[in-house]
Amino acid sequence: MCRSRFKEEQIVQILHQGEAGRKVRDLCREHGISEQTYYRWKKKYGGLQVSEAKRLKQLEDENRRLKKLVADLSLDKEALKDVLSRKWSSPQHSGTWCRLYERVTG
């Protein structure tokens, strides 16, 4: 996901200017954003203070990180299930399971 060129403080400040009565079109032109961006920000950050907007951003980043972690662990689990479901009948495969486990778990 690409980073915004505006920090949360700047976004909240722009939104407060809009709430104070400045025209949205003028605000957008001044800050170089589209009206669609302004209204998307208003939907997401409307009514928040700067500290709340920062906390929201931190929570979103943590959520993204945790989702990635869960996805990686799910892949590892499926790989291990696949390895364990195979039949290891001959003695020549005795060390194979350990090597596969080490490769999957890193």
pLDDT tens per residue across span 55-64: 998 999 999 9
Average pLDDT of the chain to the nearest whole number: 86
pLDDT tens per residue across span 82-101: 888 876 665 555 566 667 66
Cβ neighbours of residue 46 closer than 8 Å, sequence gap 6 or more: 15
Please report the DSSP string for 52-106 in residue order. HHHHHHHHHHHHHHHHHHHHHHHHHHHHHHHHHHS---SGGGTTHHHHHHHHHH-
The first and second tokens of residue 37, run together, are 């961006």
Predicted pLDDT at 85: 83
Please tell me the distance from the alpha carbon of residue 58 to that of residue 28, in angstroms, as a whole number.
26
Q: Is the pLDDT of residue 48 over 90?
A: no
